[in-house]
Structure 1
Amino acid sequence: MILDANVRFEALSALLGTKVTSLDGGNPWKAAPVLLVGGFVKQLIPDSITISACSKFHPSTKEFFIDEKEFFDPGYDFDFTNLSDSADCMRGNEPYERPKGWYRMALKVKGKYPDGDAWLGTNGWRSDSVPGEWPVSYHGTGLEEARGIISSHYKAGNRQAYGRGIYSTPDLHEAKNYCKTFTSKITGKTYTVIMQNRIKPEKRQIHGNYWLIPVPEGTSAEEEKRIVESSIRPYGVLIKEI
């Protein structure tokens, strides 16, 4: 699969529910905030976001800029679209079914967290987990839905019965129910898109096909931020032509 660079921005825009464009195209008068990869999970999941020091997120924000060199890490992209093998894989001591049929746009996350990069495991083909690695989960939502996850809980199906917090699933087939779709103005093709994350195993609760990172009522914004950063980390955007 050959992915046009502009389709990357369309995919992010669909996933976040708001326009995302390249900083290379200019950010006149700082009219829109700069979205940093370290704040992407906080934009996608809870009701908070790390943006440039000069900007303040507001619900009416219609556009974000990103610095491609600091946001994407194409050296770690992987094309699963024609994957044919069925070898069993483990990640973080959990079964991992590689996303056959999808293309992964890697996010630039190496070196971004104070506890190092062990959570990512080692690069390259392997079937087994490595020490310190976190298991893989999937998550799909948009900006409007994201505001509701921390303010109440992720209201999707019967998952709300499990409590307040951040929901994702290790089952990509289940995650497809929450994918975002868009038709590219560049290629004219229709795509579906979803996030690929790593979850800290000791921070999660397992409820059937769902993994919950609990965020109790009354948790401060600062503590919510800490919970998110220490518990769930997106490292790739999966995209597939429909």
Structure 2
Amino acid sequence: MYLDTNLKIEAVTALFGQVLKSYDEKTGITADLLSVGDFLLSTIIGKRQTFATELFIDEEKFFDPQYDYDFTDLSDTAECERGDELYKRPKGWYRMALKVKGKYPDGDTWLGPNGWRSHSVPGEWPVCFHGTSVDGARGIIKTHYKAGPRAEHGRGIYSTPDIHVAEEEKYAKTFKSEKTGKRYKVILQNRINPAMREICQRREDYWLVPVLEGTSAEREREIVERSIRPYGILIKEITDDDAGPVGLLETKETNNQEENQCQICYAM
């Protein structure tokens, strides 16, 4: 799958919930740039700063194409491990790598070395997937999966090691590209800190990073950065029969108080 600039920006827009544009220094525009850090926090815990009406992505600072990988026609079924956990590679998807190397103060060991290997290396984190966009989080917050005392498996940040769970329509974001006219699903590919993760007793394919009720916003951010780190956006073309509801790529006001209630939500 070949991804041009427009489709990549559309994919980020779908996850982020606000229309984004590619930033070009040659235009001379003083732009509000979306950082990788703000994007990751927004998609994981649904909290967003007050952003300008127009937001831009500096592709050179946001994406890291040397680590892109095309899984769309993957035929290798060999099992492999990451962080001493079974890693089933996302067959049928294309990974757009995010620029996260050097982002965290504890270094890059959590990512492990680049390239194909079947084994884990010391210090790397297991792979998990997170299929909820900001729009999805606002819908999920109304269900029994929401953060708080009624959360099904406990309050915190949810993800899954099974991409088939993450891509279910109730979790994954679907959008129709204005560029290609085709429909796509997008989810996040992450690494999760095994020291911060719990495996849910009734659903082993649900992984939980617990966050106690009443945790401050500053502490929530710290927990996120220590526990779950997206490093790629996975995108897959889907047929009309598979698509389900389609998210519109349009500018939305998402910063009101009610929407920001999803401090930590069921974010598969």
TM-score (norm 1): 0.87
The one-character-per-residue Cα deviations of 1:105-127 (angstroms, maximum 9, x if unpaired) are 00000000000000001100100
Quote the offset at 1:171 in angstroms: 0.6
Q: How does 1:85-96 map to 2 (within 5 A)?
A: 85-96=76-87
Residues 91 and 133 of structure 1 are in contact (CA less than 8 Å); yes or no, is this contact kept in structure 2? yes
- 1:227 maps to 223
Residues 136 and 170 of structure 1 are in contact (CA less than 8 Å); yes or no, is this contact kept in structure 2? yes
Residues 133 and 172 of structure 2 are in contact (CA less than 8 Å); yes or no, is this contact kept in structure 1? no
The one-character-per-residue Cα deviations of 1:16-64 (angstroms, maximum 9, x if unpaired) are 222122122869565xx42111222211122434xxxxxx525xx6543
TM-score (norm 2): 0.79
Task: Flag the 1:147–1:27 CA change in 2: closer, same or farther, 3 A.
Answer: farther
- 1:99 maps to 90
Residues 41 and 47 of structure 2 are in contact (CA less than 8 Å); yes or no, is this contact kept in structure 1? yes
CA RMSD, aligned part only? 2.5
Partners of 1:132 and 1:114 in 2: CA distance: 15
Task: Flag the 1:230–1:99 CA change in 2: closer, same or farther, 3 A.
Answer: same
Residue 183 of structure 1, aligned match among 176, 191, 214: 176
Task: Flag the 1:113–1:148 CA change in 2: closer, same or farther, 3 A.
Answer: farther
- 1:53 maps to none
Q: Does 1:10 align with 2:1?
A: no
The amino acid of 1:10's aligned partner reads E
Partners of 1:147 and 1:57 in 2: CA distance: 17
Task: Flag the 1:115–1:192 CA change in 2: closer, same or farther, 3 A.
Answer: same
Secondary structure, aligned partner of 1:163: coil
Q: How does 1:135-150 map to 2 (within 5 A)?
A: 135-146=126-137
- 2:73 maps to 82
The amino acid of 1:64's aligned partner reads L
Gaps of 5+ in 1: 50-55
Residues 152 and 164 of structure 1 are in contact (CA less than 8 Å); yes or no, is this contact kept in structure 2? no
Gaps of 5+ in 2: 239-268
- 1:44 maps to 43
The amino acid of 1:15's aligned partner reads L
The amino acid of 2:47's aligned partner reads S
Secondary structure, aligned partner of 2:45: coil
Quote the offset at 1:98 in angstroms: 0.4
Bigger drift between 121-130 and 204-213 goes to: 204-213
Residues 183 and 191 of structure 1 are in contact (CA less than 8 Å); yes or no, is this contact kept in structure 2? yes
Residue 72 of structure 1, aligned match among 60, 63, 69: 63
Bigger drift between 184-193 and 79-88 goes to: 184-193
Q: Does 1:22 align with 2:22?
A: yes
Partners of 2:218 and 2:63 in 1: CA distance: 27
Residues 153 and 163 of structure 1 are in contact (CA less than 8 Å); yes or no, is this contact kept in structure 2? no
Number of equivalences: 230
| Higher RCO (C-alpha 8 Å, min separation 6) | 2
Secondary structure, aligned partner of 1:162: coil
**Amino-acid identity (%):** 62
Quote the offset at 1:153 in angstroms: 8.6
